Chains A and B, each alone.
Chain A
Amino acid sequence: MRYAIEAEGLVKRFDDTVALAGVDLVAGAGTVLGLLGPNGAGKTTVVRILATLARPDAGTARVGGHDVVRSPDRVRKLIGLTGQYASVDENLTGHQNLFMIGRLLGMSRPDARDRAGALLARFGLTDAGGRGAKGYSGGMRRRLDLAASLVGDPRIIYLDEPTTGLDPHARAELWDVVRTLAADGVTVLLTTQYMDEADQLADAITVLDRGAVVASGTPDALKAQVGGQRLEIRPARADQRDAAAGIVAEVIGRSPDRRGDLLSVPVHDLGLPPAVFRRLDEAGIPVAELALRRPSLDEVFRVLTGTPRPAADLPVTMERIPA
């Protein structure tokens, strides 16, 4: 089995809106696939189909080699699901939640108790395990939800926007959990609207927009697809800015964009930047900042989904981090 998750031409309509308009995606066994897209792109619908919670109107999907429509029970034996809105039973304690899942999966009482205890410990919830989940913080609830999806030791896990609404600390904790899962060889399908999250965690990314895949590939490939690298130069002296821009234009063959005192130009031939540095040095133009950088996934995302890019001087990645 090459792919743990394969979907082809998934279509889903709700009344007269088309949620998915033919989505293809694959996730190799033991890899992390990031499903990236803005709100309403159809990410949750994809997850619900792959988790056998919804039926596609057209197209097929196989999880662990089993068709999600024809053999949903086989698929359910393989997967763990952590929804966008933590699906824990608020009326039960943390321990009772996990114990219940263990029993539902056919474990004996002692086994289910042990498993619950071990998972609570793994997610730092041992002390809170005897308290009602109603009183948990958002981060604790999300961790309990994740623990609940791991009771059966699934080899394939869906994480539907696991960090939406979490504070940066709780978010970092969840990232660590995902990394641990990936290190254990679990296949992870992670949906997110945060580019940095996909960039940090995913081996491959599928970008979804308005129910259709607009790009897929490794994070590096996606960045390259959008524009390769950019050379950025900030001359130390303002009166030399034009001279510097002239040299850049001459060597690269394109005049640089100016953002304040920063000169920025896309480069496709990596032999050229050293020539630029040499020429600037020869011309006696000291440089305060020099960088060769890839576009952030944020920019990639904005280009691919057609969302206008933000004003250039805004710190692009910071604004995406939820409060």
Chain B
Amino acid sequence: MMPLAQQGFTLAWRSLVPLKNSPGQLVGYVLQPVLMIAVFVYLFGGAAAGGDRHLAVLYALPGVLAQSALMATIATGVNLNTDLHNGVFDRFRSLPIVRAAPLLGRVLADLCLLGVSVGIALLAGFAVGFRIGTGPVQLAVAVGLILAIAVSLSWGSALLGLVSKTPASMQVTATAVIMPLTLGSSAFIPVGGMPGWLQWWMKVNPTSHLAGAVRGLLVGRPYDAHLASDILFTLGWAAVMLAVFVPLAGRAYRRRI
């Protein structure tokens, strides 16, 4: 195995194995999507979809999937910041390993956790009546898009974690970024009827495109009208965020350690 791969996987293992020792830490990853489904399907969804709960599930669940993934990326920065204050990073740095391996390990581990979160959201969706109206290929593409956005945003989260003083301050900043990104999108509520400036933001917001693409891929009609452009927008956003965040995070990492 290539050294970087072995080191990255080892460090990802290091981050994940404590969860096996104390699974309680996973509660947040499970609870968050379940809660979101409850809120958007039962609390707001019924109203937005004119009382039709099934329609609300079809519309909101792809949004919950996108949002779960986005929220889960906050953990990358928080965990990274926690690690920096921990002597163990000094040990890693004194070892003959690839410089970026701890960073890579962190992102890989969080990707696994994020997968759990998205998987739970999907299961919870099935429980409240969501059905995939298309096929396995579309599901795979949808999951791929969610991961693409999540990975690229993870690097942004990593950057934030590297420049923040404490895990708590990282969490506050990240939440302030993620909230408008997820709630200010068409992930849960259609754009129509919003004030103009909000419509503009909702239309450029990558979460809108991600949720739109996932909705089109999983539900099919009538939500697949803008499918191609949503997929392109999503991939474009992922590429831009990767191109910006990866070098910046790498630089912040070299500075910080």
Contact = CB atoms under 8 A, between A and B. Distances in A.
A105 B6 CA distance: 9
B6 A86 contact: no
User: Which residue, of B14, B86, B89, has the highest number of chain A Cβ atoms within 10 A?
Assistant: B14
Interface stretch (A71-79, A272-280, A297-305): A71-79
Contact of A51 (B14, B17, B21, B94): B94
Interface string A78-118: 01110101111111110010001101111000000000000
Interface in B1-30: 3, 6-7, 10-11, 13-14, 17-18, 21
Contacts of B94: 51-53, 76, 79-81
A163 to B, nearest CB: 17
B88 A89 contact: yes
Contacts of B101: 104
Given A87-B88, A92-B17, A92-B18, A104 B93 contact: no
Interface size class on chain A is: 20 to 34
Given A53-B90, A83-B90, A88-B88, A77 B96 contact: yes
Contacts of B88: 87-89
B181 to A, nearest CB: 30
Interface in A37-64: 51-53
A91 B21 contact: yes
A76 B89 CA distance: 14
A158 B170 CA distance: 33
A132 interface: yes
Contacts of B97: 104-105
Q: Is the interface of B mostly helix, strand, loop or mixed?
A: helix
Given A53-B90, A88-B88, A103-B10, A76 B21 contact: no
A148 B6 contact: no
Contact of A86 (B21, B87, B95): B87
B200 interface: no
B126 interface: no
A223 B88 CA distance: 38
A132 B21 contact: yes
A87 B95 contact: no
Contacts of B21: 91, 93, 132
A76 B97 CA distance: 8
B95 A89 contact: no
A191 to B, nearest CB: 15
B91 A148 contact: yes
B13 A73 contact: no
Interface string B104-139: 000000000000000000000000000000000000
A141 B97 CA distance: 23
Contact of B92 (A77, A83, A104): A104
A152 B96 CA distance: 10
Given A77-B96, A92-B14, A96-B17, A103 B6 contact: yes
Closest 3 CB pairs of A and B: A87-B87, A91-B18, A76-B96
Given A53-B93, A76-B96, A83-B90, 11 more contacts: A53-B90, A53-B94, A53-B257, A87-B90, A89-B86, A92-B17, A93-B21, A101-B91, A103-B6, A104-B95, A132-B21
